[in-house]
Amino acid sequence: MKKIIVPIDFSAHSEFALKTAASLAKKYNATIYALHMLDIQEISLSESEVYQQEKAIYFLKIAEKKIKKFLEKDYLKELNVIPIIKHFKVFSEVTKIAEEVKADFIIMGSHGATGLKEFFIGSNTEKVVRHSNLPVLVIKNEMVNADFSDIVLATDFSDESIPAFKRLLKSLDFLNAQKHILYVNLPKENFKTTSEMEKMANNFLMKAEGNSDRMINVNYICEHTIEKGILSFANIVGADLISVITHGRKGLSHIFAGSIAEDIANHSTLPIMTIKI
């Protein structure tokens, strides 16, 4: 793990993400790319091209001052932090920039649910998660450190998710953490017996890694919803990170029934790592 992208909007939650990135960067000698998406929506197409350029330069200078001040943190001292300012606010472009600098993953802060306003619906974080080909680590609260030692890796053991599962394992390898692979057994039409779940898990691991060595790390839990199962199991094992796989499609179509990534992120205080199929 050598390069981390952190989108910055100067909010407290983006600083939570920055602090987490700093903690990881110190441990693994990584470079942080602090990315600010410059909002120039006030520039009118009816204005002259020269005036538009003057306005863009004006906003750019303001953004440069703000990001310079924002990055003057004690916890960033002696770290390699590279500020990047882009002249648009299209958050689907974050993944493009991350790929250009060959980043390992993206860390973002998010407010989470507030009343009826959900974490993902219409949020910039949701847009990055949906479009990113890299793992996205979503931070909801300030973290004292980033010592992730117990990770819940939720999967439905589908063939479609195998490539993402492999990429997720590779992305998490540097943490040297205990990985609890989890399958949530649902009632009614999705219910499976123990032998059926074990067979499914074994076949999945054989296809994914050519062996079933990780069967010792496979866990099953019965719940009425996948969200409840994941959160309950994370609490049982004392997990400090939950990872899920998403289709990244528009709308709420995901690898699990319903919008599991969104639901978990809305109702869990733990960091969430997502990766797109």
pTM for the full model? 0.83
The two three-digit tokens of residue 75, written as one number: 């916890």
As a residue count, the chain comes to 277
State how far the alpha carbon of 110 is from the alpha carbons of 113, 185, 192, in Å: 9, 29, 35
Q: Tokens 């990170």 label which residue? A: 241
138 and 273 in contact (C-beta within 8 Å)? Answer: yes
> What value, to the nearest 5°, has the Cα angle with vertex 65 and ends 60 and 66?
95
159-197 exposure pattern, b = at least 16 Cβ within 10 A, e = fewer: eebbebbebbbebbeebebebbbbbbbbeeeeebeeeeb
CATH architecture, domain defined by 148-277 = 3-Layer(aba) Sandwich (3.40)
Question: Low-confidence residues of the chain, pLDDT below 50?
Answer: 113-122, 250-258
Answer for the pair 71, 17: CB distance below 8 angstroms, yes or no.
Answer: no
Q: SS3 of 123, please?
A: coil
In this predicted structure, what is the pLDDT of residue 26? 92
The CATH class of the 1-144 domain is alpha beta
Question: Terminus-to-terminus CA distance in the chain, angstroms?
Answer: 21
According to the model, what pLDDT value does residue 173 have?
A: 86
Q: Could you check whether 1-144 and 148-277 share the same CATH topology?
A: yes
Domain range annotation of the chain: 1-144, 148-277
Q: Which helix H or strand E contains 265, and what residues bound it? A: helix 260-267
